[in-house]
Amino acid sequence: MTPFRWANCYADIGTGKHGLTIRDYFAEVIVPSLRRIEERIDTLGRSEDAGDVFAQRDMEDMLQETKLAFCLSLQSIWERQLRTYLQGCARELEPGADLNTRIANARWDGLQKLFRRLRGIDLERFPSFERLDFLHHLGNACRHGEGASLAELGRRAPHFWSPVPPLPEPFDPAPEIPRSLTLMNVPEQDMRGLVEAVAQFWEDTGYIYNESLRSKDPYLVARLERERATRAWIPQAGAEA
């Protein structure tokens, strides 16, 4: 089997640290921030001051809002990385097509089409795509609130909302509470999974870049042989792109 290859660009080299950037942002900014708020909530919960129960509730609301803000920032980092990458590829591969503005203004589905045009492979083929698509909807919901993306999150991640406890008999069943943004709570492990999806995508593009080099030194040849034996995904040349 022949691995898929594309026309390498200088833009590929610039993506080398994208995975590290978003992982460090999560580890060094998001996690410590969430921990401080959670510790404050715990301290208020153990306080004997009657007024601290209200302060605790305020901090819980702030934790939820902070998570939404961080989810939006993760999506923004990923989207900016992708747009910048595509613009770099477009300058080298189609310099006369003036794709810069199109890439800057394209919606998510448009970016997918532009990626296919410039890189010769569908984004959907990447194992991280489903989570990246989810990240798009999450960022869109955090930015705009109610709408189609929030409804999509409700279908894909109902665990973001606490279930309504049933009422005791003989009461009627509790009415279904709409899945609103104000009641949404994104678990930290889900955020971590989205970070890893972004990092995995850039690792996969890095692998394709190495496979696409016309001249490879012996060290890289040996490294690629080892990587092919352990990789979960190797895009194949001639496969449905």
Task: Give the model confidence (pLDDT) of 108-150 as tens digits.
Answer: 999 999 999 999 999 999 999 999 999 999 999 999 888 999 9
pLDDT, residue 45, reads 87
pLDDT category at 50 given cuts 50, 70, 90 is confident
pLDDT, residue 191, reads 98
Torsion of CA 223, 192, 71, 105, to 10 degrees: 20
pLDDT, residue 177, reads 58
pLDDT, residue 21, reads 97
Name the one residue in this structure whose structure tokens are 């200088």. 10
pLDDT, residue 146, reads 86
236 - beta bridge partners? 3
Task: Compare 241 and 48 and report the one with higher pLDDT.
Answer: 48
Residue 72, burial from CB neighbour count under 10 angstroms (0-12, 13-18, 19+): middle
Dump pLDDT digits (tens) for 191-236.
Answer: 999 999 999 999 999 999 999 999 999 999 999 999 999 999 999 9
pLDDT, residue 48, reads 82
Q: What percent of the chain has pLDDT over 90?
A: 79
Dump pLDDT digits (tens) for 163-188.
Answer: 765 556 665 555 555 688 988 999 99
pLDDT category at 46 given cuts 50, 70, 90 is confident
Q: Which residues contact 155 (CB under 8 A, 6 or more apart)?
A: none
pLDDT, residue 168, reads 62
pLDDT, residue 164, reads 63
Separation of first and last alpha carbons in the chain: 15
List the one residue out of 160, 135, 152 whose CA is nearest residue 73: 135
